[in-house]
Chains A and B, each alone.
Chain A
Amino acid sequence: SQQGEEDPQALSIQEGENATMNCSYKTSINNLQWYRQNSGRGLVHLILIRSNEREKHSGRLRVTLDTSKKSSSLLITASRAADTASYFCATLNNAGNMLTFGGGTRLMVKP
């Protein structure tokens, strides 16, 4: 089974609203990364949070990490139609040689 599991699997919101996606994982990690995938394109790296960090910001993105609960969340504030995409979390194992992706959250932002 996949290391990371995103929740919800699909999310539909109106432009301007905030979008929150969650990721849970099973084993200890070195870091956790979030990627975005637009339809028909490859994944694009958004943000990386190390296991000793609890929160990180990048523009309209806010990521939290709770290693005690083995979970992370990605918040996109003031969403735009252009944010419509699938979002994946990926965990890097402690050996640093394996990045495992979750199943993704499909986000639709309606104009």
Chain B
Amino acid sequence: DAGVIQSPRHEVTEMGQEVTLRCKPISGHDYLFWYRQTMMRGLELLIYFNNNVPIDDSGMPEDRFSAKMPNASFSTLKIQPSEPRDSAVYFCASSPSGGRNQPQHFGDGTRLSIL
């Protein structure tokens, strides 16, 4: 089975540019999560979707961040305009429905560097 697929794996861009991170969850999973990992703050939940609908975006740092899930097999996290403090590793994870005891499956992340 293919796992969660994220692209790109690495992104280096200058501040002020728009950045789009992509995620393909595991087929059949109803939940999709976006996390950000930094040394200072650890792993933070940004937003999660259930059946393509955003449920909780309280972790999104500010209006520069937006996320969409147009269908069950694709999600994007966009930063516009990007700033150096957005540099981090961004992870996408998915999990199946069926109750609370389902583990999350993570992609290998996008390492984002904003210069």
* Residues of chain A at the chain B interface (Cβ within 8 Å): 2, 30-31, 33, 35, 40-45, 48, 50, 88, 92, 96-104
C-alpha spacing A96/B55, complex, angstroms = 13
Contact: B45 with A41, CB < 8 Å? no
Given the known interface contacts A42-B106, A45-B105, A92-B100, the answer about A102 and B42 at a Cβ–Cβ threshold of 8 Å is yes
- How far does the Cβ of A74 sit from chain B's closest Cβ, in whole Å? 15
Find the B residue at minimum CB distance from A102: B42
The complex places the Cα of A46 from the Cα of B13 at a distance, in Å, of 35
In the complex, chain A residues whose CB is within 8 Å of the CB of B33: 99
Among candidates A30, A31, A42, A50, residue contacting B107 with C-beta atoms closer than 8 Å: A42
- The reply to whether B43 and A42 form a contact with Cβ atoms under 8 Å apart is no
21 contacts between A and B (CB under 8 A): A2-B42, A30-B100, A31-B100, A31-B101, A41-B108, A41-B109, A42-B91, A42-B108, A42-B109, A43-B43, A43-B104, A43-B106, A48-B101, A92-B100, A96-B100, A97-B56, A98-B45, A98-B56, A99-B33, A99-B104, A104-B42
* Residue B72 interfacial (CB < 8 Å): no
A48 to B107: give the CA distance in the assembly, Å: 19
* Cα of A19 to Cα of B104 in the assembled complex, Å: 24
Q: Is the CB of A97 within 8 A of B55?
A: yes
In the complex with contacts A2-B42, A103-B42, A44-B106 CB distance below 8 A: yes
- CB <8 Å contact, A99 and B108: no
Which residues of chain B from 15 to 62 have any CB-CB distance to chain A below 8 Å in the complex? 33, 42-43, 45, 55-56
Sorted from nearest, which 10 A-B pairs have the closest CB atoms? Answer: A42-B106, A45-B103, A96-B100, A101-B43, A43-B106, A103-B42, A42-B108, A30-B100, A42-B107, A41-B108
